Chains A and B, each alone.
Chain A
């Protein structure tokens, strides 16, 4: 019983982090129908920023949140203007390879700068502390990270659904051409989607670094997890990403507990089954 509770709580906590990771991918996909293979590499950038701040400047990794978000935003905008804008007109194969190239570039740039060594954050306000809640003991860094991820998710959700800018973004996502006729600068909206996508995932990365090791190749795994979440939630659906994130978090933590070698296999199988048997996901249209 205790184990079950613990597993479920950890699953939900991981799921909240995953949801924020998948948010950007879903947003970008919804607005311009392009899949970003470099998504996990944006996450890695956030993780390395947290790591660098904590190891070399001896700042608390929590302080890296705004820096990581800013860096992610700039990286997203830059990727859009320098690369994505160029490949949007090309055939689908070219789009795939374009973002794949971006992924390889960022991954091996990190390999060049940081070497393939596995690193982790050793000190910080939250690192290694636990939180006792009567019958369960929680990892403090995971709990706070999950809470911050949920808050960030809420802010982006509010921005997309309650502000004028968000409405323009949604209009672009539904029908880009019609949005253009209504006087919306769709190019700016596309760039904004990439900016928000980069900022949220990089922020999630700097939180994830609190309790997950950092290597240059860490990104691919999270890209695939994010794909599975976006597929399950429905491509382009924001609330879908939230629910699906928690479901995938639970699947990973629970299966990982019993069959730790194959915990990622289950995520891939979920993606496969969902896209094949229910391509529009839980909340897609």
Chain B
């Protein structure tokens, strides 16, 4: 037990500057809503934490596992719809819907992972994309999910911790920060766990991993299943934060890409990578998008993303974290 807690909470194996940086980051996030009063600034912060949360989950399969999954939005959708529909139909409290959404997303991931991991590389990536698109089309097609009209959550007048509905964004800020921290601590445990090392071995060289006695297929399936479950959490949050979901909002292809991209830009396979990527891309997206949208210049923000993406792919496949690590090694 003590060992487990130590694995979860301890960052001792990381260098000192990382631990200091992490502490500063926590302090900034904690005081943020008391310094920034503008609603827009707070919304940017919440969206940043949400995408950092998504990125942490995706990093498990995409970064540590080395399998490019372009369908994480389907898991976000499962989480969002589980929360939304259960609240709408049966008034189920939020904290019950989260594990249900996670289980549904994980079960679906497990189901498709089984045939899908017969594939590698490009084939796998395209297959994940196809699966996510099929789910999105089905959610539009079905009536019981609300179809293309989506699901609207009944608004509750008073702040409510059972259904996690609040009037003020400050509550949501700490709420998403709590979810983010649990996922970060989970990933901190994961990277030091046996499964974590197995994933990294599979990523680096499947043949060598297999010859060391690792069941490559099983490792990938488990990693993909966990990633599915983790994706659901953010989806549940989206439902109670935005109070409205539809397939185009919670499970589009763009969301899958953005999630994968924040991790790639920040640095796949490192614990801080998703946070750095989201810290760069989300404010860029929100401010640039708002500014350019006001000038009726649609699309420039995505073109800038695309250039960043191509540059990272061609020059820095390890992302920003790769650059930081290299600079540090040079100094040492």
Please determine whether B118 and A272 come into contact, CB atoms closer than 8 angstroms. no
Of all chain B residues, the one with the shortest Cβ separation from A227 is B126
Please determine whether B300 and A112 come into contact, CB atoms closer than 8 angstroms. yes
B127 within 8 A of A: yes
- From residue A59, how far is it (CB to closest CB) to chain B in Å? 27
A210 within 8 A of B: no
Query: Which of A86, A220, A271 is in CB contact (< 8 Å) with B253?
Result: A220
Residues of B within 8 A of A92 (CB): 68, 121-122
Residues in A202-219 with C-beta less than 8 Å from chain B: 216
Of all chain A residues, the one with the shortest Cβ separation from B66 is A93
Please determine whether B306 and A105 come into contact, CB atoms closer than 8 angstroms. yes
- From residue A110, how far is it (CB to closest CB) to chain B in Å? 8
Query: Which of A102, A268, A271 is in CB contact (< 8 Å) with B310?
Result: A102
Please determine whether A97 and B264 come into contact, CB atoms closer than 8 angstroms. yes
B268 within 8 A of A: yes
Q: Chain B contact residues (Cβ within 8 angstroms of A): what range?
A: 35 or more
A224 within 8 A of B: yes
Q: Chain A contact residues (Cβ within 8 angstroms of B): what range?
A: 35 or more
Known: A94-B317, A224-B129, A262-B141. A268 touches B134 (CB 8 A): yes
Please determine whether B123 and A275 come into contact, CB atoms closer than 8 angstroms. yes
Of all chain A residues, the one with the shortest Cβ separation from B265 is A97
Query: Which of B137, B301, B317 is in CB contact (< 8 Å) with A264?
Result: B137
Report whether over half of chain B's contact residues are helix, strand or loop; otherwise say mixed: helix
- From residue A152, how far is it (CB to closest CB) to chain B in Å? 25
Please determine whether A101 and B313 come into contact, CB atoms closer than 8 angstroms. yes
Give complex CA distance A169, B45 in Å.
52
Residues of B within 8 A of A261 (CB): 137, 140-141
Please determine whether B66 and A108 come into contact, CB atoms closer than 8 angstroms. no
A125 within 8 A of B: no
Give complex CA distance A107, B305 in Å.
12
Query: Which of A96, A102, A262, A268 is in CB contact (< 8 Å) with B306?
Result: A102
Please determine whether B314 and A90 come into contact, CB atoms closer than 8 angstroms. yes
Please determine whether A91 and B317 come into contact, CB atoms closer than 8 angstroms. yes
Interface string of A93-116 (1 = CB under 8 A from B): 111111011111101111110011
Please determine whether A224 and B310 come into contact, CB atoms closer than 8 angstroms. no
Residues of B within 8 A of A256 (CB): none
- From residue B236, how far is it (CB to closest CB) to chain A in Å? 26
Please determine whether A269 and B299 come into contact, CB atoms closer than 8 angstroms. no
Chain B CB within 10 Å, residue with most, of A220, A261, A272: A272
A7 within 8 A of B: no
Query: Which of B126, B131, B134, B253 is in CB contact (< 8 Å) with A35?
Result: B126
Known: A91-B317, A95-B313. A101 touches B307 (CB 8 A): yes
Please determine whether B313 and A87 come into contact, CB atoms closer than 8 angstroms. yes
Known: A102-B310, A227-B126, A268-B134. A279 touches B118 (CB 8 A): yes
Residues of A within 8 A of B317 (CB): 90-91, 93-94
A83 within 8 A of B: yes
Interface string of A215-243 (1 = CB under 8 A from B): 01000100010010001000000000000
Residues in A174-218 with C-beta less than 8 Å from chain B: 216
Residues of B within 8 A of A1 (CB): none
Please determine whether A104 and B137 come into contact, CB atoms closer than 8 angstroms. no
Interface string of A260-276 (1 = CB under 8 A from B): 01101100110110011
Interface string of B280-312 (1 = CB under 8 A from A): 000000000000000001111111011111101
- From residue B157, how far is it (CB to closest CB) to chain A in Å? 38
Query: Which of A94, A108, A110, A116 is in CB contact (< 8 Å) with B313?
Result: A94
Give complex CA distance A276, B174 in Å.
43
Residues of B within 8 A of A100 (CB): 257, 309
Of all chain A residues, the one with the shortest Cβ separation from B137 is A265
Please determine whether B137 and A108 come into contact, CB atoms closer than 8 angstroms. no
Please determine whether A276 and B118 come into contact, CB atoms closer than 8 angstroms. yes
Chain A CB within 10 Å, residue with most, of B118, B308, B309, B310: B310
Please determine whether A98 and B310 come into contact, CB atoms closer than 8 angstroms. yes
Give complex CA distance A111, B293 in Å.
12
- From residue A89, how far is it (CB to closest CB) to chain B in Å? 10
Could you write out 12 A-B pairs with CB less than 8 Å apart? A86-B315, A90-B317, A102-B310, A104-B257, A104-B309, A108-B301, A112-B300, A112-B303, A262-B137, A272-B116, A276-B118, A276-B119
Interfacial residues, chain A to chain B (CB-CB below 8 A): 34-35, 83, 86-87, 90-98, 100-105, 107-112, 115-116, 216, 220, 224, 227, 231, 261-262, 264-265, 268-269, 271-272, 275-277, 279
Given contacts A100-B257, A104-B305, A261-B141, 18 further A-B contacts (CB under 8 A): A87-B314, A93-B268, A97-B264, A97-B310, A97-B312, A101-B309, A108-B299, A111-B298, A216-B299, A220-B253, A224-B126, A224-B133, A227-B130, A231-B126, A272-B115, A272-B116, A272-B127, A276-B118
